[in-house]
Amino acid sequence: MDKKTIFKTILETTKIGAQFIGVKKIYDSMFGHHFYTTKYLGFLDSDFPQMEREKHTFRSYSKNKLIGYIYHQKGPQNKGIFVFCHGYGGGGHHCYLDLINAVVKQGYYVFAYDATANDESEGNDIRGFTQGILDADKAISYVESLKQFKDLPLYLMGHSWGAYSASNAIDYHPRVKGLIAFSGFNISYSIFEANGEIYAGEASKEFLSYIIDKEERTFGKLAFHTSLESFERTKAKVVIVHSGDDETVPICAGYELYYPKFKDNKRFKFIRYNKRGHTGIYYTPEGYKYHQQIEKAYAKYQKDNKEATEQSKEKFLKELIDRKKYRNSVDIDLVKDCIKFIK
């Protein structure tokens, strides 16, 4: 199920009047399990044979072992290192290897990790969106502890949940020189608040109330930490990229909160598109269209083949996807523009 459908299903369920037990079940279905990248729908290491990687492990605050990789071109890089934070729902960072590769090709190291309960990292559930801040904080601290990178500029990049995580975690890391946030949101419950108005109207208040209470009970005051707070305190340069037609993270949940406050601040750069949706925010129009075609074809296949095995799904995707076209959809000019600004 794609992310848009997940949120729509959640909020439409509340529309018909879910009781507390139903709301809890919905919340648990969203956060209470381990996420794995769908093979072939995510990217393969073989898609980017020129990109080298080194495996690293570090611990989350809850002592789960988190797995990350330092990606780079052959030989030493001297421009800097990015910590990359992935989004929610599709598994870990392998969904973003095309974007990571685009950054690596500009001469940077990228440390990309799987958040708690995603792909290779430990954890039975991701607990809630605020967990992303905790994991990002630990990932940044880990990179800061590595002597080989102590003299290099440190940057952050994230998409969706990852943009929220990086935007909040930057508050605790003054060494960070710049942040690139794609399709991010301000606070842990922003998505539910914004989508609730679209899909469920007043009926979404019950679910939103549960979300806020659950995040506070699980994470304490950190659940109410905002990207706005971080942006006001950090000295880093920040690039905010969003699309007006994003239905997963509506632009009102992030960009439109930040823009009035920081549009005249020289540390900030705002890039707004109108037809790049959520997952296509860093793709060219042609690349986004191709990825949409793949998503629609796979969704139809699953609908028409409800008893399909994982092996048959993998076979379908392997035959469907043109790997060369699939891995070369990133808007390189956008990536270069963002990096140029934060340097």
Amino acid at 291: H
Instruction: Give the residue numbers spanning the domain of 276.
Output: 32-187+225-342
Per residue in 130-175, pLDDT tens?
A: 999 999 999 999 999 999 999 999 999 999 999 999 999 999 999 9
| Crossing angle between the packed helical segments 97-104 and 332-342, to the nearest 10 degrees | 60
Please indicate, yes or no, if residue 10 is contained in any of the structural domains.
no
**Residue 197 confidence (pLDDT) above 80:** no
Strand partners of residue 65: 59
Average pLDDT for 183-205: 79
The CATH number given to whatever domain includes residue 91 is 3.40.50.1820
173/306 Cα distance (integer angstroms): 47
Please indicate, yes or no, if residue 208 is contained in any of the structural domains.
no
Helix H or strand E encompassing 156: strand 154-159
Per residue in 233-288, pLDDT tens?
A: 999 999 999 999 999 999 999 999 999 999 999 999 999 999 999 999 999 999 99
**Residue 12 confidence (pLDDT) above 80:** no
237/239 Cα distance (integer angstroms): 7
71/116 Cα distance (integer angstroms): 20
Please indicate, yes or no, if residue 12 is contained in any of the structural domains.
no
Distances (CA, A) of 176 to 80, 180, 241, 296, 342: 11, 11, 19, 39, 10
Please indicate, yes or no, if residue 26 is contained in any of the structural domains.
no
Number of domains in the chain: 1
Ramachandran sector of residue 183 (left: φ over 0; alpha: ψ -120 to 50; beta: rest): left
pLDDT category of residue 332 using cuts at 50, 70 and 90? very high
Please indicate, yes or no, if residue 281 is contained in any of the structural domains.
yes
pLDDT category of residue 16 using cuts at 50, 70 and 90? very low
Average pLDDT for 98-105: 98
